[in-house]
Amino acid sequence: MDLFGYVKAGAYFVTASQDDALVGARNGFRLANLRVGMSLAPVERLEVVASVDGSVAKRNETAQLNGNRVVDLKDAYVEWAASPFAHLRIGQFKAPFDQEALLADGQLPFI
């Protein structure tokens, strides 16, 4: 079993009003992302992965500038490696097609 994760956080001098769109960051501390997970390989060529995100922005449906941060399941899947060229993955995960497909809509570059 392997544990993995990362934290992206910062402390900023912020003089924000209640009208600013800073979900979970009005006091100067900003938790951008917190991911914790585990990977378990009970037998060769079989892997079970689960991870949670501890800082998902959940905005109010009626007032999009307000909201809070919640914990949400990000990955939960089982992967079987039939061969080096064929893998079967079942569960919830982001499909690894290319770099832009793995980015959130708000992080896509726009020229």
For the record, the structure tokens of 2 come out as: 């392997």
The confidence score (pLDDT) of residue 76 equals: 93
pTM of the predicted model, to two decimals? 0.60
30-75 confidence digits (pLDDT tens): 777 788 999 999 999 999 999 998 878 788 778 777 777 788 888 8
Q: Which of 10, 82, 70, 19 has the alpha carbon at shortest distance from 46? A: 82
